[in-house]
Amino acid sequence: MSSELTYSQYPFLAELGLKEENPGVFNGTWGGRGDIIKCVNPTTGKVIATVKGAAPEEYEECIQAMIAAKDQWALTPAPKRGEVVRLIGDALRAKLDPLAKLISLEMGKIFIEAKGEVQEFIDVCDYATGLSRSINGQVIPSERPGHVLLENWNPLGLVGIITAFNFPCAVLGWNASISMICGNVQLWKGASTTSLITLACTKIIEEVLVKSGFNPAICSTIIGPGRTVGEQMIQDKRFGLISFTGSTEVGRRISSVVHSNFGRTILELGGNNAIIVAEDADVELALRAILFSAVGTSGQRCTSLRRAIIHESHYDQIKERLVKAYSTVRIGDPLDANTLMGPIHTPSAIKEYLEGLEEIKKQGGKIIAGGKRIEREGNFVEPTIVEINHDAPIVKTELFVPIVYLMKFKNLDDAFAWNNEVPQGLSSSLFTNSHMSTFKWMGPTGSDCGIVNVNVGTSGAEIGGAFGGEKETGGGRESGSDSWKQYMRRSTCTINYSKELPLAQGIKFE
């Protein structure tokens, strides 16, 4: 890895307010008295710029700044909070292209995918703006005369958001946009390997909050070692909620610590997703879905396809056509419009890829396409197809790299069971033209995942529906539907407007 900074090669960095050396802590003012973090381009392995991370004492400074901003924001009417979030969306629109270029540069996904990620944040801002006028409780019939029984929703206060490298912009949007209209203040810890993206988003949000007359500590940011800053956050009882996106292993630790203090979590953890191609499927649709779901973002989405479970009548055809399609995937610089697959994010992911393939071969798997590291600068590997039995132990472990397993089935019930037999439960898809199969797939004996699709791939999701999964995926739900309720506390309120004091259930105490 070259230590020489390549900042000057990318003029869009200046458009985003980034410099060769950047402070990595924001709590209304910018700071960073800790270690230097090198921001590396996975396409070249070269350092783009540096960030000064947080010193241990700066964590508490962030918390105190958020507490100071909390009441003003909580007492602001929700529609006004929604207007501020709308302005954040507009500010993101104005910086869409440079921000997408930065995601391609620092994370490694191709530009068109990166642009879609920023658009997702923008769309969630629009969604949250509308939601700010529709947060409502219920008026419940009271059994006592002269009484009203109703629900009221209030902010939690402090919310911690810990995001992963693979969606370094959008996942903040899923959480912060909803949390902000609910009246919370938040501390964001982005992945240290995507620090520049964290800073660029923070600067956009800061500018909007300041122009709108609010304390920008409402959206504070801290960049630092995950084992230090992350541990401080999960141990801190002042947080009403910790939202974490990352590995199941780390999520299990967070769940244990936060819930032991009776805190709340939103956990978005491992995937290990399957597409089932039924006998009556549209093969052309299924092929396109398999290719993008497996190769998109270099297999580094939590919703990436890991298992293609194909009916025996289509297996040979789909296998042959997939192998041919994989040979045409253009691999290279994600900022090049001709590229279909960029690098994987870090050198450690290359190690995971190579060691995973060795274990696959030991367990009887057969590599039929790809399977090699590409010898060039940066972190490049070949997208890989493997034939393997559904019950091989490795199949139950999610490899966060571009490897997809092909499996052949005869009976659709068996395919449903194979979908469900892994520990994870995020995304799943069935390709079929049968209404009976569709509704069975959606029902109690169908997919056990949080996302259950028909005739669409596993990767990607619309913001209007709650995003998340079951089992070792963590049970969290973000973005749409009634996910907003996780960011608020519910009060059941009884109001007596009579001159009497009747007790519930007809109890007499005289």
> What residues act catalytically?
268
Give buried/exposed letters for 174-200 (b at 16+ CB in 10 A, else e): bbbbbbbbbbbbbbbbbbbbbbbbbbb
Q: Are 1 and 39 in contact (CB under 8 A)?
A: no
Please give the structure tokens belonging to residue 495: 């109001």
Q: Report d(CA 458, CA 282) in Å as an integer.
A: 16
CA atoms within 13 A on the CB side of 340: 14
Give the β-pairing of 403-409 and 384-387. Answer: parallel
Q: Are 331 and 382 in contact (CB under 8 A)?
A: yes
Question: Could you tell me which of 331, 310, 328, 327 has the C-alpha nearest to residue 319?
Answer: 310
Beta bridge partners, 470, equal 425
Q: H or E segment at 484?
A: none
Q: Report d(CA 4, CA 246) in Å as an integer.
A: 30
Question: Could you tell me which of 54, 78, 99 has the C-alpha nearest to residue 204?
Answer: 99
Q: Are 120 and 467 in contact (CB under 8 A)?
A: no
Q: Are 311 and 411 in contact (CB under 8 A)?
A: no
Please give the structure tokens belonging to residue 485: 């309720």
Q: Are 366 and 387 in contact (CB under 8 A)?
A: yes
User: Which residues, at least 6 apart from 362, have a Cβ–Cβ distance to it below 8 Å?
Assistant: none
Please give the structure tokens belonging to residue 132: 């700010």
Q: Are 24 and 224 in contact (CB under 8 A)?
A: yes
Rounded to 5°, the CA angle 302-187-212 comes to 110
Question: Could you tell me which of 243, 159, 216 has the C-alpha nearest to residue 479?
Answer: 243
